[in-house]
Amino acid sequence: MARALPLLLLATTALPAQDPTPTPPTPPTPSFAHLARPPRGLPPMPAPVGYEPTAAVFDLGRRLFHDGILSRDRSVTCSSCHPAANGFASPLPRPSGVDGRTAARHAPVLWNRGYGTRQRWDGRSPDLETFVLEPIADPNEMDLPLDSALQRLAADAAYAAEFAAAFGAPPSATTLQRALATFVRGIALGDAPYDRFVAGDAAALTQEQRTGLWVFESKGRCWLCHPPPLFTDEGFHNTGVGVRDGVPEPGHALATGRDDDRGRWKTPTLRGLRWSAPYLHDGSVATIEGVVEFYERGGNANPGLDPRLHAIELSDAERRALAAFLRSL
């Protein structure tokens, strides 16, 4: 397997005379342009199967993403669980649905899900188009049967006109999922200090962040499951999250039915971590520093623990540096 980034680059790139002190930015805005021209550092966006996205479809998806019309009591939107201000992830360990119910898991970040293979923490959704419709009927989330949602949209004159303009067709399961999926594909994140550093801007990372990159690649071995440029292998791993009395939750076994997939969860992207606390599939870790500590001790022991995980020793400076690097993504 290729190394995430040649360590030689760290030794041969000239240091800036003085480390920059960047002001934490707000999350970037989703854009239809990302589908054709992804932000720096990201590969070409895979095209969806069976249709060609358009700006009108993207705009319709954006409106639907923020509209309570898709929930039973109109109180919950897609953005309720994936607010932009929190990096398109929930600020709660388990987000709230209708009638005060709670989702089964933490709502993950939506950054770069257009590149994803199987969706959801457990991988039950085979593609993005399938995934975007599932929260609508979920009783713990939006709790509205899909047929009822489509009837609402068809009865709304403005939405009926927008669907006709975008698709030349009325609201349907197919047109609804294509609109939402197209908007989610526009939630792309790149052009981070890391990307500018790799492109040759020696001053893009501070000295501490560069030390964190070295930890990420060397003794931390983080890149084995979080390889650039997406910082996820799109795989499923048992790191001991959610283990109770030595017994892991089902995890990916819910999708495959295989007992050896028990306790394995989707590797999340590390991009946008600075905005998207709390972390892990159960939202059980509140800070990036807490995530570093969890993996430094080798996760939680259980029979299916991924063999790539083992305890390591980091100095206080290395822990701070690794957290600083992760924030630079």
Residue-level pLDDT at 16: 39
- pLDDT, one tens digit per residue, over 247-272 is 899 999 999 999 999 999 999 999 99
Residue-level pLDDT at 24: 57
- The CATH 1.10.760.10 portion of the chain extends over 33-185, 192-327
Task: Name the fold adopted by 192-327.
Answer: Cytochrome Bc1 Complex; Chain D, domain 2 (1.10.760)
CA distance 275 to 26: 8
Residue 11: count of CB within 10 angstroms of its CB: 8
φ, ψ of residue 209 to 5 degrees: the values are: -65, -35
Residue-level pLDDT at 171: 98
Mean pLDDT (whole number) for 159-180: 98
Task: Name the fold adopted by 33-185.
Answer: Cytochrome Bc1 Complex; Chain D, domain 2 (1.10.760)
User: Quick check: bond before 278 cis, omega within 30?
Assistant: yes
- pLDDT, one tens digit per residue, over 51-70 is 999 999 999 999 999 999 99
DSSP string, 134-178: HHHH-TTTT---HHHHHHHHHHSHHHHHHHHHHHSS---HHHHHH
CA distance 197 to 204: 5
The pTM of the full predicted model, rounded to 2 decimals, is: 0.92
User: Quick check: bond before 46 cis, omega within 30?
Assistant: no
- DSSP, res 267: P
